[in-house]
């Protein structure tokens, strides 16, 4: 009885990955002191110091007076 020898083959898989260098630049804005501005629309005025609130009022059509 003849035995067949199993032939083993090993395959080496090599994955190459190119790593792109990524440069991240951080822009630091100096902290400014809060200034108060007056926003006016239709005879109604508000004095605000929060930049987010000022922006919200500007988006609603209020005029900013510094």
pLDDT of residue 49: 95
What integer best gives the mean pLDDT of the chain?
82
The range of the structural domain enclosing residue 47 comes to 33-66
Number of structural domains the chain divides into: 1
**H-helix or E-strand containing 54?**
helix 51-59
Q: Is residue 20 a part of any domain in this protein? A: no
- Between 63 and 2, the more confident residue is 63
Q: Is residue 27 a part of any domain in this protein? A: no
Q: Is residue 45 a part of any domain in this protein? A: yes
Q: How many CB atoms within 10 Å of residue 46?
A: 13
Q: Which of these, 52, 55, 49, lies nearest to 34 by C-alpha position?
A: 49
Kindly report, residue by residue over 13-36, the tens digit of the pLDDT: 777 777 777 788 887 766 666 789
Tokens of 38: 């007056």
Q: Is residue 24 a part of any domain in this protein? A: no
User: With pLDDT > 70 as the criterion, what percentage of the chain qualifies?
Assistant: 73
Does the pTM surpass 0.75? The reply is: no
pLDDT of residue 2: 60
Q: Is residue 48 a part of any domain in this protein? A: yes
């Amino acid at each position: 009885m003849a035995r067949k020898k199993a032939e083993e083959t090993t395959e080496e898989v090599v994955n190459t990955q190119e790593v792109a260098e990524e440069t991240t630049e951080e822009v630091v804005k100096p902290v400014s002191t809060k200034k108060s501005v007056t926003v006016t629309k239709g005879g109604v005025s508000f004095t605000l110091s929060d930049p987010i609130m000022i922006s919200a009022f500007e988006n609603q059509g209020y005029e900013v007076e510094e």
